[in-house]
């Protein structure tokens, strides 16, 4: 299966941030034919059948990159991730879990929208097991713990059920941060007929950039830049709810900004 230039660009950006087992994890998923087929088909179902925005290989790679940026900022700030804090694993396992779950979190969309996060876990299991068996060839404990984190992260990425680890929290927020206008571009090209739910694509089309940088009061600052105030819908209905019930919330500053106006702070 051929990959788009955007997919390759994002893969390169991800790999430049990684080494060791996390780099191995990313490469294994990037080169897994089943994973690629499911990512591609998820986009067909999402865009062509359901009229939603991108839920395919580009989105899942953007989610992974967003989550990794936050992961590295928190690490630099001295924040310990859940399994390290609990003394049952290391930051390396945490990063492996974040990468794999980010890259697979929406494959359940290949079936449909309803319960796609839970269907995605079932569909991802053969891919997860293949990757983790190669990464942790003889360490059953690390393999098992990492697998559980991945399952939590995929099943909890919608923010509709309780998640308890920072690792899963990063995947959910990383997903929510992929809201720039390019994600809604294909929907605009396919249909100009008004439909219920159009607020999602119009609000997404006003988002120019989502910046993830080091914060001043808290470790991570997320700034959503937009051209029109309709973009606040994306923050308030998509991203903000994912942060509110998230274990990463104490470490996040969240701002929205319409070009030429003052920043609006949410957290």
- Which residue range is the domain that position 247 belongs to? 181-265
pLDDT for the residue 153: 98
The model's pLDDT over 198-217, given as tens digits with 9 standing for 90+, comes to 445 557 788 999 999 999 99
pLDDT at 177 over 80: yes
149, 176, 203: which is the final residue of a domain? 176
pLDDT for the residue 200: 53
Mean predicted confidence (pLDDT) in 209-238: 94
**Whether the Cβ atoms of residue 233 and residue 207 lie closer than 8 Å to each other:** no
Residue 211 pairs in a beta bridge with 223
Give me the number of domains the chain comprises: 2
The model's pLDDT over 77-124, given as tens digits with 9 standing for 90+, comes to 999 999 999 999 999 999 999 999 999 999 999 999 999 999 999 999
What is the overall mean pLDDT for the chain? Answer: 91
Residue 153: which CATH number? 1.10.3210
pTM for this entry: 0.92
176, 208, 226: which is the final residue of a domain? 176
Q: Mind spelling out the 3-state secondary structure of 51-84?
A: CCCCCCHHHHHHHHHHHHHHHHHHHHCCCCCHHH
Rounded Cα–Cα distance for residues 97 and 100 (Å): 5
Residue 161 shares a structural domain with residue 213: no
The model's pLDDT over 23-58, given as tens digits with 9 standing for 90+, comes to 999 999 999 999 999 999 999 998 888 887 788 999
Residue 158 shares a structural domain with residue 200: no
């Amino acid at each position: 299966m051929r990959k788009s230039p955007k997919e390759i660009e994002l893969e390169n950006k991800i790999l430049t941030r990684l080494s060791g087992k996390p780099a191995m994890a990313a490469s294994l998923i990037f080169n897994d034919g089943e994973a690629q087929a499911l990512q591609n088909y998820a986009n067909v179902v999402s865009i062509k059948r359901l009229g939603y925005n991108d839920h395919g290989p580009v989105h899942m790679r953007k989610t992974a990159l967003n989550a990794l940026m936050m992961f590295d900022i928190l690490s630099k700030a001295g924040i310990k991730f859940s399994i390290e804090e609990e003394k049952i694993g290391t930051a390396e396992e945490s990063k492996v879990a974040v990468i794999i779950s980010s890259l697979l979190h929406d494959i359940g969309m290949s079936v449909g929208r309803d319960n796609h996060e839970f269907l995605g876990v079932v569909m991802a299991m053969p891919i997860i097991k293949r990757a983790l068996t190669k990464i942790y060839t003889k360490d059953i404990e690390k393999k098992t713990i990492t697998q559980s984190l991945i399952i939590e992260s995929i099943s909890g990425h919608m923010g509709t059920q309780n998640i308890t680890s920072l690792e899963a929290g990063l995947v959910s927020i990383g997903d929510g941060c992929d809201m720039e206008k390019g994600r809604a571009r294909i929907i605009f090209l396919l249909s100009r007929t008004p439909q219920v739910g159009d607020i999602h694509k119009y609000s997404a089309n006003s988002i120019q950039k989502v910046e993830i940088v080091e914060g001043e009061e808290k470790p991570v600052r997320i700034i959503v830049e937009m051209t029109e105030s309709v973009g606040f819908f994306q923050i308030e209905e998509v991203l903000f709810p994912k942060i509110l019930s998230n274990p990463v919330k104490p470490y996040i500053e969240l701002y929205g900004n319409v070009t030429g106006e003052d920043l609006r702070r949410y957290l």
